[in-house]
Structure 1
Amino acid sequence: MRISSICALGFMLSLPLSVHAQDLPNTAPSDSAHTKVFTLAGAPKQAGSMDGNGPAARFKRPMGIAVGPDGMIYVADTENHTIRRITPAGAVTTLAGAAGSKGSLDGSGEAARFYHPVGIALDSQGNLYVTDSENHTIRKISPAGVVTTLAGAAGRKGSSDGVGTKASFNYPHGITVSADGTIYVTDTENHSVRQISNTSTVTTLAGVSGKKGTADGKGATALFYHPSGIAVTADGILYVADNGNHTIRKISRNGAVTTLAGTARKNGHADGIGPSARFDWPNGVAVDSQGLVYVADNVNSIIRIITPTGIVTTLVGKALSWGSQDGNTESARFEFPFGVAVNPSGNTIYVTDTKNQTIRRIQRSLL
């Protein structure tokens, strides 16, 4: 499974000292006393595929996650090769695919097949979009549960732009949908960001296929290194977790790529402003209606918040202190979280706690 390069499980480098949120000017509101972490579904370190309520359900390396306006949560259950649906109360069902049965078949519900799905996103019509990573395709799931292949051809990796199956991808991971229906994909092994129009036309928005790097710029002058998570604001600004560079990149509406936070190739866990902040293989990103960016900082096993001006703070967890405990900002623990999703107000955040095999909920009482 070609995901080890972006998960970096067990991979450690020396880390700089961190700074604290209270030392930073104009940061996101500090609400540690009013932030709680709960386990919504699954049981720590108990892998499996069972549907069920809360701790009775099982997952196997869940990665991508999305939340709908009705509060329903959708998860790419990667090593089960399935898409799961979770109610706000924690009842888990399998929406599409069959656990343990990988493939590329289109179809309804259990008849469809996936091969290590990673990213998942929802559009305004209730359609789900999935990066089917080892099939090198983008799949669509209708509200009725019918799975079709939107772009790419199963088993054929590449970097070609084109319409539908004429296009090709190379282990796509992150996916997001803008207000106008444009789909954006991080084409991870191609080190690029692709876009898919309403006519299923795939083009390369930024980066150069097969060329990794750190450069800011526009279009082919910008370079990435294993981009992973991606999120879009209501007004069309993109944020990308540039996993191999340990940075968070921003793509403006005119396609210009800049580095919002972190410094390329310098990993760590420091809070700070812009280039002074540090991440360690960041993966999932999400953005709320206020423009706050949420990051699943994978190896650090913490969830970060970034303001639109690049101020980075740690929301929950303690860097490099792994575990599965629920609790408040200081006591909660994660173990290699991958995906993150947030409701528009930013008061509820969902996380795929990948190595713990659980789905976590972060509840914030915004004052």
Structure 2
Amino acid sequence: MENFKLNSGKVKAVLPIYMVLFSFFVICCDNNEIKSNSEFFYPPKADVESTFETFYPDSGGLGTKLIIKGSNFGTDTNYVRVTVNQLKAKVVRVNDNILYAVVPARADTGYVRLYIRKGEEEVEYTSDREFKYMFKSNVSTLIGTPGKQAADERLDGAYTVALLRRPWQIITDKDGTIYWSDEGRGQSKNGALRKASNGEVETLVYNSSGPYQSCNGFAFNSTQDTLFMANRWNSADVRNDVSVMYSTREANFVNVKALINFPKSSTASVAIHPKTGELFFDHNDEGAVYKYNKNAPNGYEKMFNVRGSYNAMDMRLLFNKEGDILYLVLRGKHCIYKVSYDAATHTFGTPEPFAGEWSTSGYENGEGLAARFNSPSSPCLDPEGNLLIPDKFNHCIRKITPKGTVSLYAGKPRESGHADGLPDKAKFFEPEALTFHRNTLYVADRGNHCIRKVVIE
């Protein structure tokens, strides 16, 4: 028993030493294993042809795990990249003959492309079928009560309490505050400039004897401290010659002043160049586009006529993100034109048809001039640079890619009404204007007297 106790004591004394040695051994082994694993990250073999055999699943939404099968991918993710419909997909793992990637947001339907770098050369492989992107979107009513319009004295307050009156222009700032105009012409309070933020609606300006008599288009300057607005003249109600007016953030946009006086121009839209800050506006009675130039006679200069002597186009202007294309939505002619712009020389090219057919209304999706619209109105761009357009009398929202492919974005074509829900089930009533902020499209749903939103993913 004494010997046993003695040995037991030695064991207790030696055990901690063994534990330390064992831990050291494990750490060394782990380190060796890490070093060993790093040796397995290798590029694709330069002298062996790579292949792209297939991918799956063939459909899904944001975050879908995409599996690509083939050969000679290597195991180092630095040598491969993947796109879905031209948008970058994050590559999370590659094992020479199988690759794992994550589908990016808003990829839309398109081909899967695999790019493999070998030395200085990058080889592109394209799938033989398209990945079908499943959008997770929903249409809802944000502000106002559908079908109930405000009186001349607007009812402000919470989004669900406030009443609107034919909202027909809309814009958001970088903080997500929404500004819109309730339709109205003349000096009475039947028109108003309003804003919504943090769950509350506030009326900023009413129609009056001053410049603000027929607000018909919005554009912020690059710093968003100045809001420019078109003031649309008509002989029956408007009693001033103001074409473009402005107000400033410093004064909470209530200090509306005249910028351009142009008698009987019936200006419906203003556009700010995204790089130069130049301001352009339309002249409806001439079918022309002008530029603000404080050094020119009267403060403006003519840029071009859209189509010879044709007028009464009821134009809406919007530059693409790069500023090298000006879109001309010709509401009165049921089509969209575009014209190139050189910011270095400050010159435009020749306007040309982009989507829809001149003076032909209807509803058709498709490529460019084969599409049909019915009074397309004030557009916006989505984050991918697509043109989103409220197709007013088709009671829906359309999308046009930069290449001119036209499709349905939301709503039930030719069916007016009010219904929230999935985009293809939702109903609008004469949607008039759009604005996009982050992942949300806001719609001035004129006929329903409310602001709708389409949340994307």
How large is the Cα RMSD of the aligned pairs? 2.3
Q: How does 1:92-103 map to 2 (within 5 A)?
A: 92-97=201-206, 102-103=207-208
Q: Relative to structure 1, is the Cα distance of residues 328 and 77 closer, same or farther in structure 2, using a 3 angstrom cutoff?
A: same
Q: How does 1:143-162 map to 2 (within 5 A)?
A: 143=249, 144=251, 145=253, 146-152=255-261
Instruction: Tell me which of 145, 149, 155 is aligned to 1:47.
Output: 149
Q: Post-superposition shift, 1:103?
A: 2.7
- State the structure with more CA Rg: 2
Q: How does 1:97-246 map to 2 (within 5 A)?
A: 97=206, 102-105=207-210, 114-125=212-223, 126-134=225-233, 135-137=240-242, 138-143=244-249, 144=251, 145=253, 146-152=255-261, 167-179=262-274, 180-197=276-293, 201-207=299-305, 215=307, 221=308, 223=310, 225-236=312-323, 237-246=325-334
Please report the TM-score for the alignment, with normalisation by the length of structure 1.
Answer: 0.76
Match of 2:174 in 1: 69
CA contact (8 A) 1:301 1:318 kept: yes
Match of 1:212 in 2: none
Q: Distance in 2 between matches of 1:94 and 1:103?
A: 14
SS in 2 for 1:244: helix
Instruction: Tell me which of 338, 349, 354 is aligned to 1:250.
Output: 338
Q: Distance in 2 between matches of 1:140 and 1:330?
A: 38
SS in 2 for 1:141: strand
2:379 matches 1:285: yes
Match of 2:115 in 1: none
SS in 1 for 2:379: strand
Q: Relative to structure 1, is the Cα distance of residues 139 and 290 closer, same or farther in structure 2, using a 3 angstrom cutoff?
A: same
Q: Post-superposition shift, 1:357?
A: 0.7
SS in 2 for 1:251: strand
Q: Relative to structure 1, is the Cα distance of residues 188 and 350 closer, same or farther in structure 2, using a 3 angstrom cutoff?
A: farther
Q: Distance in 2 between matches of 1:199 and 1:147?
A: 22
Higher RCO (Cα < 8 Å, 6 or more apart): 1
Q: How does 1:319-338 map to 2 (within 5 A)?
A: 319-338=413-432
2:168 matches 1:59: no
Q: Distance in 2 between matches of 1:318 and 1:289?
A: 24
Q: Post-superposition shift, 1:297?
A: 0.4
Deviation readout 1:139-198 (Å, 9 max, x if unpaired): 10111132110001xxxxxxxxxxxxxx43522112221222212223334322222246
CA contact (8 A) 2:286 2:311 kept: no
Match of 1:29 in 2: 108
Q: Post-superposition shift, 1:235?
A: 2.3
SS in 1 for 2:147: coil
CA contact (8 A) 1:241 1:283 kept: yes
Q: Distance in 2 between matches of 1:265 and 1:314?
A: 21
Match of 1:14 in 2: none
Q: Quick one: which amino acid aligns to residue 338 of structure 2? A: K
Q: Distance in 2 between matches of 1:197 and 1:362?
A: 38
Q: Quick one: which amino acid aligns to residue 230 of structure 2? A: T
Match of 1:155 in 2: none
Q: Relative to structure 1, is the Cα distance of residues 104 and 122 closer, same or farther in structure 2, using a 3 angstrom cutoff?
A: farther
Q: Relative to structure 1, is the Cα distance of residues 32 and 330 closer, same or farther in structure 2, using a 3 angstrom cutoff?
A: farther
Q: How does 1:255-270 map to 2 (within 5 A)?
A: 255-270=349-364
Q: Distance in 2 between matches of 1:186 and 1:32?
A: 39
Q: Distance in 2 between matches of 1:76 and 1:117?
A: 7
Please report the TM-score for the alignment, with normalisation by the length of structure 2.
Answer: 0.62
Q: Distance in 1 between matches of 2:368 and 2:176?
A: 32
Q: Relative to structure 1, is the Cα distance of residues 58 and 235 closer, same or farther in structure 2, using a 3 angstrom cutoff?
A: same
Q: Distance in 1 between matches of 2:260 and 2:331?
A: 24
Q: Distance in 2 between matches of 1:291 and 1:115?
A: 33
Match of 2:390 in 1: 296
Runs (5+) with no aligned partner, structure 1: 1-25, 107-113, 153-166, 209-214, 216-220
Deviation readout 1:283-337 (Å, 9 max, x if unpaired): 1111234321010101001101100000001100011111111111111110001
SS in 1 for 2:394: coil
Q: Quick one: which amino acid aligns to residue 440 of structure 2? A: T
Q: Quick one: which amino acid aligns to residue 358 of structure 1? A: C
Q: Post-superposition shift, 1:223?
A: 4.9
Q: Relative to structure 1, is the Cα distance of residues 288 and 199 closer, same or farther in structure 2, using a 3 angstrom cutoff?
A: farther
CA contact (8 A) 1:76 1:120 kept: no
SS in 1 for 2:332: helix
Q: Percent identity?
A: 27
Q: Relative to structure 1, is the Cα distance of residues 238 and 265 closer, same or farther in structure 2, using a 3 angstrom cutoff?
A: same
Runs (5+) with no aligned partner, structure 2: 1-84, 87-106, 110-132, 185-189, 234-239, 342-347
CA contact (8 A) 2:287 2:309 kept: no
Q: Relative to structure 1, is the Cα distance of residues 280 and 136 closer, same or farther in structure 2, using a 3 angstrom cutoff?
A: farther
Instruction: Tell me which of 84, 93, 99 is aligned to 2:194.
Output: 84
Aligned residues: 301
